[in-house]
Amino acid sequence: MLDKTLVALRRLNAKFIHNFVTNDVAAQAAIVHRRFTCIMPNGLRLNREDYLKYWATGFDPDVITYWDYRDEKIEVFGDVALVCATNCYTRRRDGVANAGMTVYTDTYLLEDGLWSCIQAQITPMQPEYFPPDDTVVRRYHRGRLQD
């Protein structure tokens, strides 16, 4: 049973990331709980409505030229699951490319047989904690999934 749960949560995490990169608000709305909260890297808390508004334009492939997620770890505690991973990115502003990473923890709740995300928290990482490239799960270049 746990294997099926982990597979389902890995798929949800992949969909969560893909929805961000493609600005797919409708698909993301289906994943996030009605009482969802997001804690942004600067500490701002967004309710579901404001989060979904942000989601519509949060990823610009001309600004975020590279994106991956890596070092995925999933823990299940009954009807609650923690999905943790790291995003690696390159952002280009005013002709200057800057790379960095953020670590995130998405908290999922199992209700009526479906997992939905009740909270996402994103935290900037210092370079000494960056996970290696061999932990990459998926890569995107200019918003397109790479094989």
Instruction: Please name the residue that has the structure tokens 């492939």.
Output: 61
CA-wise closest residue to 19 among 47, 49, 54 = 54
Q: What is the pLDDT of residues 15-69, one digit of tens each?
A: 999 999 999 999 999 999 999 999 999 999 999 999 999 999 999 999 999 999 9
Return the SS3 of 60. coil
Please give the pLDDT value at position 147.
80
Please give the pLDDT value at position 1.
65
Q: What are the residue ranges of helices labelled H in the chain?
A: 2-21, 25-31, 48-55
Domains and CATH numbers, the chain: 2-142 (3.10.450.50)
Please give the pLDDT value at position 26.
97
Please give the pLDDT value at position 117.
98
Task: Tell me the pLDDT of the chain averaged across its residues.
Answer: 96
- By the 8 A CB rule, do 139 and 68 touch? yes
